[in-house]
Chain A
Amino acid sequence: MSFYSPVITNAAEVARSESLHLFRYVEDPDQYKVETFEKHGGYEAWKKVVTSMKPDQVIAEVKNSGLRGRGGAGFPTGMKWGFVPKDSPKARYLICNADESEPGTCKDRVIMERDPHAVIEGMAIGAFAIGCHRMFIYIRGEFGHCIERMEGAVKEAYTRGHLGKNVYGSGYDLDMVVHSGGGAYICGEETALLNSLEGEKGLSRIRPPFPAIAGLYASPTIVNNVETLAAVPHIINRGADWYKTMGTEKSAGSKIFSLSGHVKRPGNYEVPLGFSLKTLIYDEKYGAGIRDGKKLKAVIPGGASTPFLTPDMVDVGLDYESLQSVGSMLGSGAIIVLDEDTCIVWTIMKLIHFFRHESCGKCTPCREGTGWLEQLVTRIEHGEGRPGDIDKIDDLCGNILGRTICPLGDAAVMPIQSAIKLFRDEWQYHIDHKKCPCPNNHEFK
């Protein structure tokens, strides 16, 4: 059985590169098999770690590399691992967060489908670093192929002795559980993921306690993104200093960007952090420019929850700091490109519908606010907006931002606030003319 999701990648370029690594073998149709993975140097880092390194050394190496979480928050991975209390009598758990459901993001899926052992190897190293003997991967329920691939890979890894009792004779036991989610965006939020994994409803938990202290089954738990963990074996193999040769001073390494929207070549591209957004959109090797000869209108640079960029802002480096300096975020690296025919209000309506639908319903501002916002935005898009609606939306967003248990509330309102700030005239047009000005929105014409 071989399966490919039809996604364009820059695997060939990565293979030629000295340092890019995540996508090196993703176009190899046999890479998902353990033999092929081993042939390409797979599991060497894990073997090295478990037979010759101490957990502290692993954590130090990852800390030195400057690797930061690729799920969206960008928290330094080594530092996170270091938070696990050394003296806790409880079991510790490592969980790979593969509940990739941010609209526009599809990078983890490619890794899991085509290079599942890379994830297992990264998880194993992380597990060893924190003293975990049972690790979990929580895969988005809709990713049927990923679940099949991961389950197959885990089975192979056990057969080849990469997992199980006394791995490589090191005396270290490591088990892995593949868990399929139930189809909720909120379960990508780590505390909701923990509830879901425990068999509860996927509602986010209040922090503190942070998962590193009391997470799964109230035990110290580390939750890492797929891409983060997939990078770990390379850091072990080639060293922290090598990893730092890529990217910027504060944002080291490479990252996969999921480029989608109105570009000619949407796809997953691995580039060093700090790479120019403009190049990614316009270069022939990547996005190859806006399709149908249209002009660029806006870019969502980091997944559906990040503020918009306007064309004058796209000459920016794709790293945590640069995007922050222009008022947006790197997020999960899902770049959504919108052309001149796209209505911003329509886009926001689609986004807020998503967030309203995915709000877990636990805390008041997000539960009630997203519903109200959806009603208001929909009304405006349908030409039924009332004077004052824009300010009302802006004010409601302010009442949600920073007031919720988990970041879903923030995620829902940040793009709205930026859309109002950057495109207020267009919102006003809807209200004044009682219609949507853009021809691209087929649904409501």
Chain B
Amino acid sequence: MATDAKTDTAAPARPATVTLTIDGQEVTVPKGTTVLEAALGMGIQIPTFCWHPKLKSVGACRMCYVEIEKMPKLAVSCATEAVDGMVVHTDSDLVKRGRKAIIEFILANHPLDCPTCDKGGECDLQNLTYRHGIDDSRFDFMKMRFTEGAERTTFDDVRIGPEIVLNRNRCILCYKCVRANKEAFGEYDLGAFERGNITEINAAPGREVENPFSGNLVQICPVGALTNSDWRYKIRVWLTKQARSICPFTGSGANTLLWKEDHQQKIFRCTARRNDDIDDGWIADVTRYGYQYVMAEDRLQTPLVKKDGKQVKASWDEALALVAKRLREVDDNKGNVCIGGLIAPHLDNKSLYAFNKFMRVTIGANNVDHRLDYPMLPTDGNSAFSILASRPFTIADIDTSDVIVSFASDMLKEHPNEYLRMRKASFFRQAKIYTIDPYAVKNSDIASLDVVYTPGADEAVINALCLAAAEDQMVDAARIKGLKEKLSHKSAADAAKAAGVDLDEIKVIARALANGKKITFMAGELLARSSFREAAAAALANLNRLFDIDSRGQMARLARFSNSRGAEKLGLSPFPAPAVKKELEAAFGSWPASDALTADKMLVQMNKEAINAAIVIGANPIMLYPDREFAREALEKLDFLVVCDSFETATTSLADVVLPLASFAEYTGDYINMEGRTQTAEAAIKPRFQSKPAYEIVSLIAQALEKPLFKSDVDCGTEMAKILAADHVLPWPSGYLEVAGEPVATSEEYPIPLFVGDDPHHSGHLTEKANSLLNFRGEAYAEMSAELAASLDVRNGDSVRVESPVGKVIVPVRISDWIDTPVVFIPRNFSSTPVTSLLMRKERVNRVKITKVAD
């Protein structure tokens, strides 16, 4: 403690710099910069194969040679630290000779099959050969050739994973794939085997390369050794153009490029577009391959209207006229408050804002929400959960935090980019990682401690942290005052017992939170999806107050979808933040007087037939709302349902009118990521078939109702700009909040807690239209610990029947490498397995029984 205090008060040292000369130009860079980075920063090109800005330098390829005065040999600039007074030459004759020799060595056994290689045209080796090499080879032996077993496969390619194909002849052994897998992703399904010039990259024995970040390996391969099915043999790279896009599946908005061909109006692939503030150039496979849904065969082509109980094709005019007529009927007969509006949070700002205005002005009802997959949402605007969800967050700050806690979050499945950031902080800066979850998650492997609490006891475990700090006086006495009285748990030991966790471990984490220099505390979907989220959110507000985390870092519930934060900032919920509401009122000129209903409450009202018509845009509540039957019944009771989506879904099947929705890649739109950063996704192709962007559909409906939304696009932009400028962040409560910990009920008949969420390779209901992602995971499964599987007498792949009081599904078993308690996880992304039918919206913990299905 004493030494900590000393460092805290010491004046921050000015970052040291060094000055060196590169190619005659003097440059000053921070100490620790490599010569390569210094040169690149000056715009001096130094060729590399094995260097990657986000990985440790290994100096293996030797392409980045430079000549440094007073050094006897050529130096590899990627691994040479810049020092004061260094004089560097990057283009001397010696350097050129050195690089040429490397190209010659690499080409000796390289097959030079560029005409049939997909990397041709964007190949580092090809480019650098033209720049440094010779057009003839001194190597006059047979080239080495790797073949699989005795049999030579086509072009010597071997499939090493669902997507990835390996050609070892082309491999130049830069080891970037193996290093990225280890250093950035923490995966070990790919390795380098053998030694010397017969070294080969390959999948680990008995395994496939199928980690959720494996697509990055293909992108960073400097040659055509790793290719993916998505792109292979489809088009030459020089025939394509790129559109700058944004990941539509996660909350961080990773930057991407969509590679398109204009004549065919086709997108061929999606790659990372490095943005160090967000993604570091790594994107999850769901981002990389998910775009394929845009090009899917079974996209909705035209509007459909229900005639005689059957949906038939119709023209836009016909469909819009019908929508207007029916909405007017409901409005006239039942009142405008009987119309509900649900919109998916992965749509762009303009669509969200247009819909908000449509519902609140054109319809004149307060029934609008984007939070479709959460049960029992808070019914006022100042709940602890709303506060937590509104708090600011900066992704890049995870990197520099020394204490990182993820709470109630399966980070890999929910927030892949932030998951990688945690690993980065751990690997490169030895940050302390703590995971606190109801079941062990993937990044528990880098955690100093992974605490697994009793499912449902979310608030108890946070109370335990607070009480442990208070009891052991880890924080100032003044801060502790007033805390204990508010908590139902009498002591840390009490709370820890209620949460089923070890108090000593809780104390370690509490101490880390008390002493950490910079803290990142992230709460996730396991909290957000809980119907008792409010108690835990209140406990987290207390935690923030007690440890004063805001002054030393950040604490937030991470936004889950690509424009969740945009929806909040645009007031697309029943209870917009006060500042946002004020701007909205100004823009709208009015505010509906009716009760504000959350998505959850709207379904309740539909079930009570108090809402008779609904507009659903881009969302699939039947598949994703955590009580399938409840949602289905609600929508079935409607007099009129209009659904906009890109595909026929369980929800569109109930609709009176279905309108084809354009995807993110078919129009230019703005998206706001979890940090509040606005980013633009450019249109890659024109909307396919007759589909239209949501904002256009909403405007057309408004026009059909003879109440146009905007005079012009400019108006829409001006209105939005004002609203987005408003501060949507809610302040923390001014004192400690009551946290009533309730004991978690158990059940003998249904003993096993069930968690439903996204598979690491999927997100929401659209990704099952992406073939590459289906290659990774094409069906639902019951993920469980080896012990639970053993107790059920089942092995990997065996079918089990999972039953809850309200439903049952039959799925194959998947033994988890990290879950080690008796819980089960089932992904919700597959329409063939309606797992949400097992859930009940009011249950704190949904429980199931699992039985083996006889062969």
Contacts and interface: CB of A to CB of B under 8 A. Distances in A.
| Most chain A CB within a 10 A radius of its CB, from B63, B108, B197, B199 | B197
Given A201-B192, A206-B79, A361-B173, A367 B108 contact: no
Interface stretch (B98-106, B146-154, B652-660): B98-106
A107 B108 CA distance: 39
Interface residues of B, number: 37
Contact of B138 (A205, A392, A403): A392
A423 interface: no
A161 interface: no
B169 to A, nearest CB: 14
A358 interface: yes
Given A365-B101, A402-B73, A403-B73, A360 B196 contact: yes
Nearest to B139: A372
Contacts of B76: 206
A370 B109 CA distance: 13
B761 interface: no
A368 B60 contact: no
Nearest to B103: A364
Contacts of B199: 361, 367
A365 B105 contact: yes
A255 interface: no
Interface in A310-362: 356-362
Given A201-B192, A368-B106, A392-B138, A363 B74 contact: no
A365 B102 contact: yes
Interface string A367-408: 111111001000000000010000010000001001111000
Interface residues of A, number: 30
Contact of A361 (B63, B105, B141, B197): B197
B324 interface: no
B81 interface: yes
Nearest to A408: B196
B73 A367 contact: no
Interface string B243-279: 0000000000000000000000000000000000000
Contact of B197 (A205, A208, A368, A403): A368
Contacts of B195: 184, 186, 357-361
B62 A403 contact: yes
B72 interface: yes
A358 B194 CA distance: 11
B105 A372 contact: yes
B404 to A, nearest CB: 20
B196 A403 contact: no
B61 interface: yes
B532 interface: no
Interface SS of chain B: loop
Contacts of B311: none
A371 B196 contact: yes
B58 A399 contact: no
Interface in B579-595: none
Contacts of B61: 363-364
B108 A372 contact: yes
Given A363-B62, A368-B106, A403-B74, A375 B141 contact: yes
A403 B63 CA distance: 10
B59 interface: yes
Contacts of A186: 195
B196 A361 contact: yes
A201 B204 CA distance: 14
A103 to B, nearest CB: 16
B175 interface: yes
B57 interface: yes
Contact of B196 (A206, A367, A399): A367
Contacts of A371: 108-109, 144, 196-197
Contacts of A369: 105
Contact of B59 (A206, A356, A358, A370): A206
Contacts of B198: 361
A206 B62 contact: no
Interface string B182-204: 00000000001011111100000
Contacts of A403: 62, 65, 73-74, 98, 101
A359 B62 contact: no
A370 B196 CA distance: 9
Contacts of A402: 72-74
Interface in B96-119: 98, 101-102, 104-106, 108-109
B60 A356 contact: no
A386 B105 CA distance: 20
Nearest to A369: B105
A402 B98 CA distance: 11
Given A367-B196, A367-B199, A362 B175 contact: yes
A272 B278 CA distance: 64
A405 B105 contact: no
Contacts of A364: 60-63, 102, 105-106, 172-173
A371 B173 CA distance: 15
Interface string B75-90: 0100101000000000
Interface string B49-73: 0000000011111110100000011
Contacts of B102: 364-365
Nearest to B104: A399
A362 B60 contact: yes
Interface in B783-814: none
Contacts of A370: 196-197
A218 to B, nearest CB: 9
23 contacts: A184-B195, A206-B76, A358-B196, A361-B192, A361-B196, A361-B198, A362-B173, A364-B61, A364-B63, A365-B62, A365-B101, A367-B196, A367-B197, A371-B197, A372-B105, A372-B141, A375-B141, A399-B101, A399-B104, A403-B73, A403-B74, A403-B98, A405-B60
The 4 lowest CB-CB distance pairs between A and B, nearest first, are A361-B199, A399-B101, A368-B105, A371-B197
Given A368-B197, A372-B108, 12 more contacts: A201-B192, A359-B195, A360-B195, A361-B173, A362-B58, A362-B173, A364-B63, A364-B172, A364-B173, A367-B105, A370-B196, A372-B139
